[in-house]
Structure 1
Protein backbone atom coordinates (compact mmCIF):
# COMPACT_ATOMS: atom_id res chain seq x y z
CA UNK A 1 0.00 0.00 0.00
CA UNK A 2 1.18 3.54 -0.72
CA UNK A 3 2.43 4.65 2.69
CA UNK A 4 1.65 8.31 1.98
CA UNK A 5 -2.02 7.79 1.10
CA UNK A 6 -3.43 9.55 4.15
CA UNK A 7 -1.01 12.48 4.11
CA UNK A 8 -1.54 13.13 0.41
CA UNK A 9 -5.31 12.79 0.58
CA UNK A 10 -5.65 15.02 3.63
CA UNK A 11 -3.58 17.75 2.00
CA UNK A 12 -5.69 17.45 -1.15
CA UNK A 13 -9.01 17.75 0.71
CA UNK A 14 -7.75 20.62 2.85
CA UNK A 15 -6.84 22.47 -0.35
CA UNK A 16 -10.27 21.82 -1.88
CA UNK A 17 -12.21 23.45 0.96
CA UNK A 18 -11.64 27.11 -0.06
CA UNK A 19 -12.66 26.23 -3.62
CA UNK A 20 -15.79 24.35 -2.55
CA UNK A 21 -16.86 27.17 -0.22
CA UNK A 22 -15.99 29.92 -2.71
CA UNK A 23 -18.23 31.88 -5.03
CA UNK A 24 -18.20 29.18 -7.71
CA UNK A 25 -18.33 26.29 -5.25
CA UNK A 26 -21.13 24.38 -3.58
CA UNK A 27 -24.57 26.00 -3.38
CA UNK A 28 -24.24 27.10 0.24
CA UNK A 29 -26.57 30.06 -0.22
CA UNK A 30 -29.38 27.63 -1.04
CA UNK A 31 -29.50 26.65 2.62
CA UNK A 32 -30.97 30.07 3.42
CA UNK A 33 -34.23 28.35 2.50
CA UNK A 34 -35.13 26.20 5.55
CA UNK A 35 -36.58 23.54 3.27
CA UNK A 36 -33.52 23.27 1.04
CA UNK A 37 -31.71 19.93 0.72
CA UNK A 38 -28.51 19.18 -1.14
CA UNK A 39 -28.98 17.70 -4.60
CA UNK A 40 -27.35 14.46 -3.42
CA UNK A 41 -29.83 14.01 -0.55
CA UNK A 42 -32.75 14.97 -2.81
CA UNK A 43 -31.73 12.12 -5.10
CA UNK A 44 -31.43 9.75 -2.13
CA UNK A 45 -34.71 10.78 -0.51
CA UNK A 46 -37.09 8.27 -2.20
CA UNK A 47 -34.93 5.41 -0.85
CA UNK A 48 -33.67 7.08 2.32
CA UNK A 49 -37.00 8.35 3.61
CA UNK A 50 -37.66 10.60 6.59
CA UNK A 51 -35.31 10.32 9.57
CA UNK A 52 -37.64 11.44 12.35
CA UNK A 53 -36.34 10.53 15.79
CA UNK A 54 -33.20 8.79 14.53
CA UNK A 55 -29.59 9.26 15.62
CA UNK A 56 -27.58 9.66 12.42
CA UNK A 57 -23.86 9.67 11.67
CA UNK A 58 -22.47 10.84 8.33
CA UNK A 59 -19.05 9.40 7.50
CA UNK A 60 -16.62 11.52 5.45
CA UNK A 61 -19.00 14.47 5.57
CA UNK A 62 -16.65 17.08 3.98
CA UNK A 63 -18.16 20.60 4.35
CA UNK A 64 -21.49 19.32 5.59
CA UNK A 65 -24.01 20.08 2.85
CA UNK A 66 -25.41 16.55 2.95
CA UNK A 67 -25.05 16.44 6.75
CA UNK A 68 -27.16 19.57 7.22
CA UNK A 69 -29.68 18.11 4.77
CA UNK A 70 -29.96 14.95 6.88
CA UNK A 71 -30.67 17.09 9.93
CA UNK A 72 -33.53 18.71 8.02
CA UNK A 73 -35.17 15.32 7.55
CA UNK A 74 -36.20 15.16 11.20
CA UNK A 75 -33.28 13.30 12.80
CA UNK A 76 -33.03 13.48 16.59
CA UNK A 77 -29.28 13.99 16.33
CA UNK A 78 -26.79 14.20 13.47
CA UNK A 79 -23.02 13.75 13.73
CA UNK A 80 -20.65 14.48 10.85
CA UNK A 81 -17.20 12.90 10.76
CA UNK A 82 -14.26 13.93 8.60
CA UNK A 83 -10.47 14.05 8.80
CA UNK A 84 -10.20 17.58 7.39
CA UNK A 85 -10.29 20.33 10.03
CA UNK A 86 -10.95 23.00 7.40
CA UNK A 87 -13.94 21.06 6.06
CA UNK A 88 -15.35 20.62 9.55
CA UNK A 89 -15.00 24.32 10.28
CA UNK A 90 -16.92 25.08 7.08
CA UNK A 91 -19.54 22.49 8.04
CA UNK A 92 -20.02 24.03 11.49
CA UNK A 93 -20.46 27.46 9.93
CA UNK A 94 -23.00 26.11 7.43
CA UNK A 95 -25.00 24.31 10.13
CA UNK A 96 -25.12 27.46 12.26
CA UNK A 97 -26.18 29.55 9.29
CA UNK A 98 -28.83 26.98 8.33
CA UNK A 99 -30.21 26.87 11.86
CA UNK A 100 -29.73 23.14 12.50
CA UNK A 101 -27.82 21.26 15.18
CA UNK A 102 -25.00 19.04 13.93
CA UNK A 103 -22.03 17.73 15.90
CA UNK A 104 -18.86 17.65 13.82
CA UNK A 105 -16.00 15.38 14.87
CA UNK A 106 -12.49 15.33 13.43
CA UNK A 107 -11.39 11.73 12.98
CA UNK A 108 -10.30 9.16 10.44
CA UNK A 109 -13.10 6.81 9.42
CA UNK A 110 -11.21 3.85 10.81
CA UNK A 111 -11.14 5.52 14.25
CA UNK A 112 -14.80 6.53 14.22
CA UNK A 113 -16.00 4.05 16.85
CA UNK A 114 -13.30 5.18 19.29
CA UNK A 115 -14.12 8.83 18.54
CA UNK A 116 -17.91 8.76 18.99
CA UNK A 117 -18.74 5.48 20.72
CA UNK A 118 -20.05 2.04 19.86
CA UNK A 119 -23.63 1.18 18.88
CA UNK A 120 -24.78 4.81 19.12
CA UNK A 121 -26.58 5.30 15.84
CA UNK A 122 -29.74 4.23 14.03
CA UNK A 123 -28.37 5.25 10.63
CA UNK A 124 -24.90 5.36 9.13
CA UNK A 125 -24.96 7.50 5.99
CA UNK A 126 -22.12 7.80 3.51
CA UNK A 127 -22.26 9.51 0.16
CA UNK A 128 -20.70 9.94 -3.24
CA UNK A 129 -16.92 9.74 -3.56
CA UNK A 130 -16.16 8.53 -0.03
CA UNK A 131 -14.90 4.96 0.13
CA UNK A 132 -12.55 5.48 -2.83
CA UNK A 133 -10.25 7.26 -0.33
CA UNK A 134 -10.04 4.22 1.97
CA UNK A 135 -7.59 1.35 1.35
CA UNK A 136 -9.40 -1.45 3.22
CA UNK A 137 -13.14 -1.96 2.69
CA UNK A 138 -13.36 -4.65 5.37
CA UNK A 139 -12.10 -2.29 8.06
CA UNK A 140 -14.66 0.26 6.89
CA UNK A 141 -17.49 -2.28 7.12
CA UNK A 142 -16.41 -3.22 10.66
CA UNK A 143 -16.61 0.46 11.61
CA UNK A 144 -20.12 0.73 10.17
CA UNK A 145 -21.21 -2.33 12.18
CA UNK A 146 -19.58 -0.94 15.31
CA UNK A 147 -21.41 2.38 15.03
CA UNK A 148 -24.87 0.88 14.46
CA UNK A 149 -27.34 -0.19 17.11
CA UNK A 150 -29.12 -3.48 16.58
CA UNK A 151 -31.71 -2.85 13.91
CA UNK A 152 -29.75 0.14 12.62
CA UNK A 153 -29.29 0.79 8.91
CA UNK A 154 -26.48 1.67 6.54
CA UNK A 155 -27.38 3.87 3.58
CA UNK A 156 -24.81 4.60 0.92
CA UNK A 157 -24.85 5.82 -2.65
CA UNK A 158 -21.44 5.70 -4.31
CA UNK A 159 -19.63 6.00 -7.58
CA UNK A 160 -19.77 2.61 -9.28
CA UNK A 161 -16.50 0.65 -9.32
CA UNK A 162 -16.84 0.30 -13.09
CA UNK A 163 -16.88 4.08 -13.40
CA UNK A 164 -13.75 4.41 -11.25
CA UNK A 165 -11.98 1.90 -13.52
CA UNK A 166 -12.46 3.90 -16.74
CA UNK A 167 -9.89 5.95 -18.60
CA UNK A 168 -10.72 9.35 -20.04
CA UNK A 169 -12.95 8.93 -23.14
CA UNK A 170 -11.19 8.27 -26.43
CA UNK A 171 -11.76 10.55 -29.42
CA UNK A 172 -14.03 7.89 -30.94
CA UNK A 173 -16.21 7.91 -27.83
CA UNK A 174 -15.38 4.40 -26.67
CA UNK A 175 -15.15 3.80 -22.93
CA UNK A 176 -12.04 1.87 -21.97
CA UNK A 177 -11.11 0.15 -18.70
CA UNK A 178 -7.68 1.35 -17.54
CA UNK A 179 -7.63 1.27 -13.73
CA UNK A 180 -8.22 -1.63 -11.29
CA UNK A 181 -11.78 -2.69 -10.57
CA UNK A 182 -10.75 -4.66 -7.48
CA UNK A 183 -9.14 -3.39 -4.28
CA UNK A 184 -5.39 -2.90 -4.76
CA UNK A 185 -2.60 -0.89 -3.17
CA UNK A 186 -4.04 2.30 -4.66
CA UNK A 187 -3.58 4.45 -7.75
CA UNK A 188 -1.84 7.82 -7.66
CA UNK A 189 -3.49 10.71 -9.50
CA UNK A 190 -2.58 14.37 -9.89
CA UNK A 191 -5.37 16.80 -10.76
CA UNK A 192 -5.18 20.53 -10.10
CA UNK A 193 -8.92 21.08 -10.63
CA UNK A 194 -11.87 19.93 -8.53
CA UNK A 195 -15.55 19.36 -9.11
CA UNK A 196 -17.80 21.90 -7.42
CA UNK A 197 -15.34 24.78 -7.44
CA UNK A 198 -13.08 26.87 -9.64
CA UNK A 199 -9.42 27.57 -9.07
CA UNK A 200 -6.24 25.57 -8.66
CA UNK A 201 -6.00 22.78 -6.08
CA UNK A 202 -2.82 23.56 -4.16
CA UNK A 203 -2.12 19.91 -3.29
CA UNK A 204 -3.15 18.03 -6.45
CA UNK A 205 -1.77 14.54 -5.72
CA UNK A 206 -4.06 11.81 -4.34
CA UNK A 207 -4.07 8.06 -3.77
CA UNK A 208 -7.39 6.41 -4.60
CA UNK A 209 -8.69 2.88 -4.03
CA UNK A 210 -11.37 1.03 -5.95
CA UNK A 211 -13.55 -1.64 -4.33
CA UNK A 212 -15.60 -4.09 -6.40
CA UNK A 213 -19.28 -4.60 -5.61
CA UNK A 214 -18.57 -8.15 -4.49
CA UNK A 215 -15.86 -6.95 -2.13
CA UNK A 216 -18.21 -4.39 -0.61
CA UNK A 217 -21.07 -6.88 -0.29
CA UNK A 218 -18.79 -9.49 1.29
CA UNK A 219 -17.25 -6.96 3.71
CA UNK A 220 -20.67 -5.88 4.97
CA UNK A 221 -21.81 -9.47 5.35
CA UNK A 222 -18.66 -10.50 7.22
CA UNK A 223 -19.14 -7.54 9.56
CA UNK A 224 -22.58 -8.84 10.53
CA UNK A 225 -24.83 -6.72 8.33
CA UNK A 226 -27.60 -8.02 6.10
CA UNK A 227 -27.74 -6.28 2.71
CA UNK A 228 -31.39 -5.42 2.08
CA UNK A 229 -31.13 -3.46 -1.17
CA UNK A 230 -28.71 -2.99 -4.05
CA UNK A 231 -29.65 -0.73 -6.94
CA UNK A 232 -27.43 0.47 -9.79
CA UNK A 233 -28.05 3.88 -11.38
CA UNK A 234 -27.41 5.52 -14.72
CA UNK A 235 -26.79 8.91 -13.08
CA UNK A 236 -23.80 10.43 -11.29
CA UNK A 237 -23.71 13.88 -9.59
CA UNK A 238 -20.67 15.23 -11.43
CA UNK A 239 -19.25 14.93 -14.92
CA UNK A 240 -16.49 12.31 -14.84
CA UNK A 241 -16.23 11.68 -18.60
CA UNK A 242 -16.28 15.07 -20.32
CA UNK A 243 -18.02 15.16 -23.67
CA UNK A 244 -19.29 11.59 -23.18
CA UNK A 245 -21.75 12.96 -20.57
CA UNK A 246 -24.77 15.25 -20.67
CA UNK A 247 -26.90 16.72 -17.91
CA UNK A 248 -29.80 14.55 -16.84
CA UNK A 249 -33.24 15.81 -17.79
CA UNK A 250 -34.81 13.97 -14.87
CA UNK A 251 -32.47 14.93 -12.02
CA UNK A 252 -30.90 18.27 -11.10
CA UNK A 253 -27.08 18.20 -10.85
CA UNK A 254 -26.87 14.65 -12.21
CA UNK A 255 -25.14 13.53 -15.41
CA UNK A 256 -25.79 10.60 -17.73
CA UNK A 257 -24.02 9.10 -20.72
CA UNK A 258 -24.78 11.02 -23.89
CA UNK A 259 -25.12 7.79 -25.88
CA UNK A 260 -25.89 4.21 -24.89
CA UNK A 261 -26.91 4.91 -21.31
CA UNK A 262 -27.63 1.25 -20.64
CA UNK A 263 -23.97 0.34 -21.25
CA UNK A 264 -22.70 1.35 -17.85
CA UNK A 265 -23.88 1.87 -14.26
CA UNK A 266 -22.44 5.10 -12.89
CA UNK A 267 -23.51 4.93 -9.24
CA UNK A 268 -25.20 2.44 -6.94
CA UNK A 269 -27.14 2.45 -3.69
CA UNK A 270 -26.62 -0.19 -1.00
CA UNK A 271 -28.69 -0.49 2.14
CA UNK A 272 -27.91 -2.93 4.94
CA UNK A 273 -29.27 -3.66 8.43
CA UNK A 274 -27.56 -4.81 11.62
CA UNK A 275 -29.84 -7.57 12.82
CA UNK A 276 -29.66 -9.20 16.24
CA UNK A 277 -29.14 -12.72 14.94
CA UNK A 278 -26.26 -11.73 12.63
CA UNK A 279 -24.60 -9.64 15.34
CA UNK A 280 -24.81 -12.62 17.70
CA UNK A 281 -23.30 -14.90 15.06
CA UNK A 282 -20.37 -12.55 14.50
CA UNK A 283 -19.76 -12.17 18.24
CA UNK A 284 -19.86 -15.93 18.76
CA UNK A 285 -17.53 -16.72 15.87
CA UNK A 286 -14.94 -14.23 17.11
CA UNK A 287 -14.65 -15.84 20.56
Structure 2
Protein backbone atom coordinates (compact mmCIF):
# COMPACT_ATOMS: atom_id res chain seq x y z
CA UNK A 1 0.00 0.00 0.00
CA UNK A 2 2.77 2.45 0.91
CA UNK A 3 4.58 1.99 -2.39
CA UNK A 4 1.38 2.24 -4.40
CA UNK A 5 0.31 5.35 -2.48
CA UNK A 6 3.64 7.08 -3.19
CA UNK A 7 3.67 6.05 -6.85
CA UNK A 8 0.13 7.30 -7.44
CA UNK A 9 0.64 10.50 -5.45
CA UNK A 10 3.64 11.43 -7.62
CA UNK A 11 1.54 10.82 -10.73
CA UNK A 12 -1.42 12.90 -9.51
CA UNK A 13 0.82 15.70 -8.23
CA UNK A 14 2.19 15.84 -11.77
CA UNK A 15 -1.27 15.83 -13.35
CA UNK A 16 -2.67 18.60 -11.16
CA UNK A 17 -1.11 21.65 -12.81
CA UNK A 18 -1.60 20.17 -16.28
CA UNK A 19 -5.26 19.40 -15.62
CA UNK A 20 -5.94 22.84 -14.16
CA UNK A 21 -4.53 24.44 -17.33
CA UNK A 22 -6.43 22.10 -19.65
CA UNK A 23 -9.48 23.49 -21.47
CA UNK A 24 -11.27 20.25 -20.60
CA UNK A 25 -11.50 21.26 -16.93
CA UNK A 26 -12.71 24.74 -17.91
CA UNK A 27 -11.38 26.78 -15.00
CA UNK A 28 -12.10 29.95 -16.96
CA UNK A 29 -15.77 29.04 -17.34
CA UNK A 30 -16.16 28.48 -13.60
CA UNK A 31 -14.71 31.95 -12.99
CA UNK A 32 -16.79 33.67 -15.69
CA UNK A 33 -20.16 31.94 -15.20
CA UNK A 34 -21.52 31.50 -11.64
CA UNK A 35 -24.01 28.92 -12.93
CA UNK A 36 -21.44 26.71 -14.68
CA UNK A 37 -21.23 23.09 -13.50
CA UNK A 38 -18.82 20.30 -14.36
CA UNK A 39 -20.06 17.84 -16.98
CA UNK A 40 -19.86 15.02 -14.40
CA UNK A 41 -22.14 16.75 -11.89
CA UNK A 42 -24.48 18.08 -14.59
CA UNK A 43 -24.94 14.54 -15.94
CA UNK A 44 -26.33 13.42 -12.59
CA UNK A 45 -28.48 16.45 -11.76
CA UNK A 46 -31.75 14.46 -11.96
CA UNK A 47 -30.35 11.91 -9.49
CA UNK A 48 -28.60 14.30 -7.09
CA UNK A 49 -31.81 16.07 -6.09
CA UNK A 50 -31.92 19.07 -3.77
CA UNK A 51 -28.57 19.62 -2.03
CA UNK A 52 -29.44 22.92 -0.37
CA UNK A 53 -28.02 23.07 3.16
CA UNK A 54 -26.55 19.56 3.13
CA UNK A 55 -23.16 18.97 4.75
CA UNK A 56 -21.26 17.19 2.00
CA UNK A 57 -17.78 15.74 1.61
CA UNK A 58 -16.21 15.05 -1.76
CA UNK A 59 -13.69 12.25 -1.39
CA UNK A 60 -10.72 12.14 -3.79
CA UNK A 61 -11.76 15.55 -5.07
CA UNK A 62 -8.68 16.22 -7.28
CA UNK A 63 -8.66 19.85 -8.53
CA UNK A 64 -12.17 20.57 -7.33
CA UNK A 65 -14.38 21.14 -10.39
CA UNK A 66 -17.01 18.69 -9.13
CA UNK A 67 -16.56 20.08 -5.60
CA UNK A 68 -17.33 23.63 -6.73
CA UNK A 69 -20.29 22.30 -8.70
CA UNK A 70 -21.77 20.65 -5.59
CA UNK A 71 -21.28 23.91 -3.72
CA UNK A 72 -23.14 25.77 -6.46
CA UNK A 73 -26.05 23.37 -5.98
CA UNK A 74 -26.34 24.54 -2.38
CA UNK A 75 -24.30 22.05 -0.36
CA UNK A 76 -21.80 23.07 2.31
CA UNK A 77 -18.88 21.11 0.86
CA UNK A 78 -15.60 19.80 2.21
CA UNK A 79 -13.04 18.37 -0.21
CA UNK A 80 -10.40 15.75 0.58
CA UNK A 81 -7.53 14.53 -1.58
CA UNK A 82 -4.07 13.04 -1.08
CA UNK A 83 -2.38 15.42 -3.53
CA UNK A 84 -1.26 18.76 -2.15
CA UNK A 85 -0.63 19.97 -5.68
CA UNK A 86 -4.21 19.15 -6.67
CA UNK A 87 -5.60 20.91 -3.60
CA UNK A 88 -3.58 24.04 -4.40
CA UNK A 89 -5.36 24.14 -7.76
CA UNK A 90 -8.72 23.35 -6.10
CA UNK A 91 -8.31 26.28 -3.71
CA UNK A 92 -7.36 28.55 -6.59
CA UNK A 93 -10.47 27.49 -8.50
CA UNK A 94 -12.74 27.96 -5.48
CA UNK A 95 -11.41 31.47 -4.95
CA UNK A 96 -11.92 32.37 -8.62
CA UNK A 97 -15.42 30.87 -8.57
CA UNK A 98 -16.42 32.55 -5.32
CA UNK A 99 -17.03 29.23 -3.55
CA UNK A 100 -16.45 28.68 0.16
CA UNK A 101 -14.95 25.18 0.41
CA UNK A 102 -12.68 23.67 3.06
CA UNK A 103 -10.02 21.39 1.60
CA UNK A 104 -8.00 18.77 3.49
CA UNK A 105 -4.92 16.88 2.35
CA UNK A 106 -5.09 13.24 3.49
CA UNK A 107 -5.26 9.63 2.40
CA UNK A 108 -8.95 8.83 1.87
CA UNK A 109 -8.60 6.00 4.39
CA UNK A 110 -7.86 8.59 7.09
CA UNK A 111 -10.91 10.72 6.29
CA UNK A 112 -12.84 9.89 9.48
CA UNK A 113 -9.86 10.76 11.68
CA UNK A 114 -9.24 13.98 9.76
CA UNK A 115 -12.83 15.18 9.33
CA UNK A 116 -14.72 13.54 12.21
CA UNK A 117 -17.23 10.71 12.47
CA UNK A 118 -20.90 11.02 11.53
CA UNK A 119 -20.62 14.64 10.38
CA UNK A 120 -21.98 14.47 6.85
CA UNK A 121 -25.36 14.28 5.16
CA UNK A 122 -23.75 13.38 1.83
CA UNK A 123 -20.58 11.58 0.78
CA UNK A 124 -19.86 12.15 -2.90
CA UNK A 125 -17.29 10.43 -5.06
CA UNK A 126 -16.94 10.97 -8.78
CA UNK A 127 -15.53 9.33 -11.87
CA UNK A 128 -12.13 7.68 -11.61
CA UNK A 129 -11.76 7.44 -7.83
CA UNK A 130 -12.30 3.84 -6.71
CA UNK A 131 -9.77 2.31 -9.10
CA UNK A 132 -6.94 3.85 -7.07
CA UNK A 133 -7.94 1.99 -3.91
CA UNK A 134 -6.92 -1.64 -3.22
CA UNK A 135 -9.92 -2.55 -1.04
CA UNK A 136 -13.49 -1.45 -1.67
CA UNK A 137 -14.49 -2.90 1.71
CA UNK A 138 -12.05 -0.61 3.52
CA UNK A 139 -13.35 2.36 1.55
CA UNK A 140 -16.96 1.47 2.42
CA UNK A 141 -16.08 1.48 6.12
CA UNK A 142 -14.74 5.03 5.71
CA UNK A 143 -17.95 6.13 3.98
CA UNK A 144 -20.04 4.62 6.80
CA UNK A 145 -17.87 6.38 9.37
CA UNK A 146 -18.34 9.79 7.76
CA UNK A 147 -22.11 9.63 7.30
CA UNK A 148 -24.71 10.44 9.92
CA UNK A 149 -27.54 7.90 10.24
CA UNK A 150 -29.81 8.55 7.27
CA UNK A 151 -26.97 10.22 5.35
CA UNK A 152 -26.49 9.40 1.67
CA UNK A 153 -23.64 8.08 -0.44
CA UNK A 154 -23.55 9.18 -4.10
CA UNK A 155 -21.13 7.51 -6.52
CA UNK A 156 -20.61 8.07 -10.25
CA UNK A 157 -17.87 5.74 -11.44
CA UNK A 158 -16.42 3.95 -14.42
CA UNK A 159 -17.97 0.52 -14.82
CA UNK A 160 -15.79 -2.47 -13.86
CA UNK A 161 -16.81 -4.08 -17.16
CA UNK A 162 -15.04 -1.20 -18.92
CA UNK A 163 -12.11 -1.70 -16.56
CA UNK A 164 -11.46 -5.17 -17.94
CA UNK A 165 -10.81 -3.90 -21.48
CA UNK A 166 -7.49 -3.01 -23.07
CA UNK A 167 -7.99 0.30 -24.88
CA UNK A 168 -5.70 -0.93 -27.68
CA UNK A 169 -7.53 -4.26 -28.15
CA UNK A 170 -10.90 -4.24 -26.39
CA UNK A 171 -12.39 -7.21 -28.25
CA UNK A 172 -11.58 -9.62 -25.39
CA UNK A 173 -11.39 -8.71 -21.66
CA UNK A 174 -7.77 -8.57 -20.53
CA UNK A 175 -7.81 -7.28 -16.95
CA UNK A 176 -9.52 -8.67 -13.82
CA UNK A 177 -13.18 -7.88 -13.22
CA UNK A 178 -12.96 -8.93 -9.57
CA UNK A 179 -10.83 -7.26 -6.91
CA UNK A 180 -7.20 -8.41 -6.92
CA UNK A 181 -4.44 -8.19 -4.32
CA UNK A 182 -1.63 -7.01 -6.56
CA UNK A 183 -2.13 -3.73 -8.42
CA UNK A 184 -2.29 -3.36 -12.16
CA UNK A 185 0.83 -1.40 -13.06
CA UNK A 186 0.75 0.97 -16.03
CA UNK A 187 3.43 3.26 -17.46
CA UNK A 188 1.81 5.97 -19.57
CA UNK A 189 3.02 9.52 -20.21
CA UNK A 190 -0.48 10.63 -21.21
CA UNK A 191 -3.60 11.57 -19.29
CA UNK A 192 -7.30 11.68 -20.12
CA UNK A 193 -7.56 15.37 -21.05
CA UNK A 194 -5.68 17.64 -23.47
CA UNK A 195 -2.42 18.85 -21.90
CA UNK A 196 0.61 20.70 -23.23
CA UNK A 197 3.31 18.23 -22.17
CA UNK A 198 3.67 14.57 -21.18
CA UNK A 199 3.64 13.51 -17.55
CA UNK A 200 6.99 13.22 -15.78
CA UNK A 201 5.80 10.62 -13.27
CA UNK A 202 4.24 8.10 -15.61
CA UNK A 203 3.71 4.94 -13.50
CA UNK A 204 0.37 4.20 -11.77
CA UNK A 205 -0.99 1.37 -9.62
CA UNK A 206 -4.71 0.58 -9.88
CA UNK A 207 -7.34 -2.01 -9.00
CA UNK A 208 -10.71 -3.07 -10.38
CA UNK A 209 -13.69 -3.81 -8.10
CA UNK A 210 -16.73 -5.78 -9.20
CA UNK A 211 -20.23 -4.41 -8.71
CA UNK A 212 -20.98 -7.32 -6.41
CA UNK A 213 -17.97 -6.56 -4.24
CA UNK A 214 -18.92 -2.87 -4.05
CA UNK A 215 -22.54 -3.50 -3.12
CA UNK A 216 -21.63 -6.22 -0.60
CA UNK A 217 -19.09 -3.90 1.04
CA UNK A 218 -21.73 -1.20 1.46
CA UNK A 219 -24.30 -3.62 2.88
CA UNK A 220 -21.78 -5.05 5.33
CA UNK A 221 -21.01 -1.53 6.57
CA UNK A 222 -24.62 -0.62 7.30
CA UNK A 223 -25.63 1.11 4.08
CA UNK A 224 -28.80 0.25 2.18
CA UNK A 225 -28.78 0.53 -1.61
CA UNK A 226 -31.43 3.02 -2.78
CA UNK A 227 -30.66 3.56 -6.47
CA UNK A 228 -28.43 2.04 -9.13
CA UNK A 229 -28.23 3.00 -12.81
CA UNK A 230 -25.82 1.74 -15.47
CA UNK A 231 -24.90 4.03 -18.39
CA UNK A 232 -23.58 3.36 -21.88
CA UNK A 233 -21.39 6.48 -21.65
CA UNK A 234 -18.40 7.75 -19.68
CA UNK A 235 -16.88 11.26 -19.45
CA UNK A 236 -13.53 10.44 -21.07
CA UNK A 237 -12.43 8.75 -24.28
CA UNK A 238 -11.90 5.34 -22.70
CA UNK A 239 -11.52 3.43 -25.98
CA UNK A 240 -9.82 5.75 -28.49
CA UNK A 241 -10.89 5.22 -32.05
CA UNK A 242 -14.11 3.47 -31.03
CA UNK A 243 -15.98 6.13 -29.07
CA UNK A 244 -17.63 9.38 -30.10
CA UNK A 245 -18.18 12.51 -28.03
CA UNK A 246 -21.63 13.91 -27.38
CA UNK A 247 -20.78 17.62 -27.18
CA UNK A 248 -23.91 18.56 -25.22
CA UNK A 249 -23.08 16.27 -22.29
CA UNK A 250 -19.32 15.74 -22.52
CA UNK A 251 -19.96 12.00 -22.52
CA UNK A 252 -18.27 9.39 -24.73
CA UNK A 253 -20.00 6.24 -25.96
CA UNK A 254 -19.23 3.51 -28.46
CA UNK A 255 -19.78 4.68 -32.03
CA UNK A 256 -20.99 1.22 -33.04
CA UNK A 257 -23.91 -0.11 -30.95
CA UNK A 258 -23.20 1.60 -27.60
CA UNK A 259 -25.65 -0.73 -25.85
CA UNK A 260 -22.92 -3.41 -26.02
CA UNK A 261 -20.96 -1.77 -23.19
CA UNK A 262 -21.82 -0.75 -19.65
CA UNK A 263 -19.36 2.15 -19.44
CA UNK A 264 -20.25 3.79 -16.11
CA UNK A 265 -22.79 3.68 -13.30
CA UNK A 266 -24.43 5.88 -10.69
CA UNK A 267 -25.04 4.34 -7.26
CA UNK A 268 -26.79 5.73 -4.20
CA UNK A 269 -27.03 4.26 -0.71
CA UNK A 270 -28.23 5.43 2.69
CA UNK A 271 -26.68 4.74 6.08
CA UNK A 272 -29.21 2.91 8.22
CA UNK A 273 -29.98 4.04 11.76
CA UNK A 274 -27.43 2.98 14.35
Q: TM-score range by the shorter chain?
A: over 0.9
- In 1, Cα distance between equivalents of 2:168 and 2:204: 21
Residue 273 (str. 1) matches residue 270 (str. 2): yes
Partner Cα distance (1:28, 1:176) in 2: 38
CA separation of 1:253 and 1:273: change in aligned 2, threshold 3 A: same
Q: CA deviation at 1:248?
A: 2.5
How far 1:25 sits from its partner (Å)?
4.8
> What is the deviation of 1:169?
4.2
Q: Deviations over 1:251-278 (max 9, x none)?
A: 42110001121111000011000121xx
Of the two, which has the highest radius of gyration?
Answer: 1
Name the residue aligned to 1:35. Answer: 35
Relative to structure 1, the CA distance from residue 94 to residue 231 in structure 2 (aligned partners, 3 Å threshold; closer, same or farther) is same
Structure 1 residues 95-110: aligned runs within 5 Å: 95-110=94-109
Q: Distance in 2 between matches of 1:10 and 1:169?
A: 26
Q: Which residue of 2 aligns with 1:80?
A: 79
SS at match of 2:70: helix
What RMSD over aligned residues (CA atoms) do the two structures have, in Å? 1.2
Unmatched runs of 5 consecutive residues or more in structure 2:
none
- Report the counterpart of residue 127 of structure 1 in structure 2: 126
Q: Gapped runs of 5+ residues in structure 1?
A: 280-287
Cα deviation, 1:87-114, whole Å, max 9, x if unaligned, reads 0011011111101100000011100000
1:190 aligns with 2:159: no
What is the TM-score of this pair, normalised by structure 2? 0.96
TM-score, normalising length from structure 1?
A: 0.92
Q: Secondary structure at the match of 1:243?
A: coil
Alpha carbons 1:19, 1:25 under 8 Å: kept:
no
* Structure 1 residues 202-250: Cα deviation after superposition (integer angstroms, max 9, x where no partner): 100000000000000000000000011111000100001011101126x
Q: Distance in 2 between matches of 1:247 and 1:25?
A: 13
Q: Is the 8 A contact 2:22 2:193 kept in 1?
A: no
Q: In 1, are the aligned partners of 2:17 and 2:89 still within 8 Å (CA)?
A: no
Q: Deviations over 1:160-212 (max 9, x none)?
A: 00101101244xxx622000111112100011011123121110000000000
- For residue 116 of structure 1, report the CA deviation from its aligned partner: 0.3
Q: Within 1, Cα distance between the matches of 2:251 and 2:140?
A: 27
The residue that corresponds to 2:225 in the other structure is 227
Once the two structures are superposed, residues 25-55 of structure 1 have per-residue CA deviations (whole angstroms, 9 ceiling, x without a partner) of 5211111201110111000111012200100
1:156 deviation in Å? 0.4
Q: Which residue of 1 aligns with 2:148?
A: 149
Q: Which residue number in structure 1 is paired with residue 203 of structure 2?
A: 205
State how far apart, in whole Å, the 2-side matches of 1:25 and 1:245 are.
17
Alignment of 1:13-52 (within 5 A): 13-31=12-30, 32-52=32-52
Q: How does 1:259-270 map to 2 (within 5 A)?
A: 259-270=256-267
